[in-house]
Chain A
Amino acid sequence: MDFNLMIEIAPLLVKAAWVTVDISARALFFGFFIASVLVALRTSRTPPVRWLARAYISVVRGTPYFVQLLLVFYGGPAIGLRLDPFTCGVVVGAFNIGAYMSEAIRGAIESVDSGQNEASRSLGFGRLETLQHIILPQAAALMIRSVGVLAIILVKNSSLVSIISVVELTYQAQRLIGSTYKPLEVFTLSALMYIVIIYAVMGIVEFLYRRATRYTFQ
């Protein structure tokens, strides 16, 4: 292995890794809002609203993220939607992960014993108050775990925005392989950076999980 080369290209890859973190973090942030809205729509009292939310989730989960990305970036202008590559990565990433996350959140909420809901309602709490004070605190732990899994998928998926020429980690790695003809060195370094990012995410998830379960027996 050519260590001099690795030291030489490291700054470029670190910079690109930061773009990977940036794009994933933004997509996660907006994705969470989209997910929350979807969960609300799915529990709406108006059936067509529920169907629409379900259809959206089904279509997003049933088609490749990569195709969604290409459709919005290259096909978007045909319907008047022009996004720069980075924004496109964030938007498509958020709308994609939002659909998965809404299922994760719903699963966590449904995992809370229905007796909790009944007990809270019988005390006179409303639907939203019950959700806020009783259900969500109990669902939080499971929710953090599954959102954490999705965040890791988001980081790995972000590599696909290299195709629409966002200069993130995979894009830079591919370019460096092409210019240096040293695939092993480039791969080792860039893989290492993905691993660092993913372990950092896992660390944060574990920290939040511990906090969420501070008062419970788990």
Chain B
Amino acid sequence: MEFDFSPVMEYWPTLLQGVGVTLLIGLAVAVMSVIGGQIVAVITLYTRKMVNWPLRFFIWLFMTTPLLLQLYFLYFGIGEWILIPAIMVGVLGLGFHYMAYNADIFIATIRSVSSGQYEASRSLGFGHLATLFYVVLPQSFNRAMPQLSNNMIIMVKDISVLSAIGIGEMVYVSQYAISVTFRPFEFYITIAVIYYLINLMMEAGQTWIERRASYRS
């Protein structure tokens, strides 16, 4: 039993590229799932059940089935009709998955804004939409912050699953390197360490963000 990390060093630039792809996907999915989740939540809460049932159905479906199955369906299913690059499938798949989870949170936090807040805003002369934008959504966002940042931390770890549909993030690029160097242990340990460091940073950010948000909600 001996370890040889020189292949990892040799493929370090490739691995770093994979890290870059992972981080970019993470950013894209975070933006998409947070904004999308908020839109889905608002539509779900402010329209009739007859109108918004497809949204509620998709939230439910995305939350009760595994991510990988959803990715396969999108990858092979959408691939049937139109040609889109795998990376798009990956971002959309992960984006929709976490959009559902985030929408679920926003629905709860928007509901939790007290009627007094609506009344205060209305009594100043704000209309329904202005009240939503200036008062309700910012507050629901602050209250969602702890769970939202939790979801995003879990999401970044799930980016590794995208290797299954051939997206060149960390795991995928090292799988190629492994097939050449036969050093799976060293590569996967390295990836685990990189993920752990990313996770530590995100947790530090989460603590800061949560303190700031709880002070304002």
**Taking beta carbons and an 8 Å cutoff, which residues of A are in contact with B?**
59, 61-68, 70-71, 74-76, 78-80, 155-160, 162-163, 169-170, 173-174, 177-178, 181, 183-184, 187, 190-191, 194-195, 198
Cβ–Cβ contact B65 & A191, under 8 A: yes
CA gap between A160 and B160 in the complex, in Å: 11
SS of B interface (majority): helix
A70 x B184 contact (CB < 8 A)? yes
Q: A174 to B66: give the CA distance in the assembly, Å.
A: 13
When distances are taken between beta carbons in the complex, the residues of chain B under 8 Å from A181 are: 80
Least distance between A175 CB and chain B CB atoms (Å): 10
Known contacts A183-B76, A183-B77: A67-B164 contact under CB 8 Å:
no
Q: Does B61 contact A (CB under 8 A)?
A: yes
How near does chain B come to A83, taking the closest CB pair, in angstroms? 14
B135 at the interface (CB under 8 A from A): no
A-contacting residues, B54-108, CB 8 Å: 61, 64-69, 72-73, 76-77, 80
Given contacts A65-B157, A66-B171, contact A74 B69 (CB under 8 A): no
Q: Are B157 and A64 in contact (CB under 8 A)?
A: yes
Do A63 and B69 form a contact, CB below 8 Å, given A75-B188, A160-B161? no
Q: How far is the CA of A207 from the CA of B151 in the complex (A)?
A: 28
Q: Are B185 and A80 in contact (CB under 8 A)?
A: no
Determine whether the beta carbon of A194 is less than 8 Å from that of B66.
yes
A-B interface, 10 closest residue pairs, ranked by CB to CB distance from nearest:
A75-B185, A159-B66, A74-B184, A183-B77, A71-B188, A78-B185, A62-B199, A64-B157, A187-B73, A156-B66
| CB-contact partner of B189 in A75, A159, A190, A195, under 8 A | A75
Interface residues in B170-217 by Cβ distance below 8 A to A read 171, 178, 183-189, 191-192, 195-196, 199-200, 203
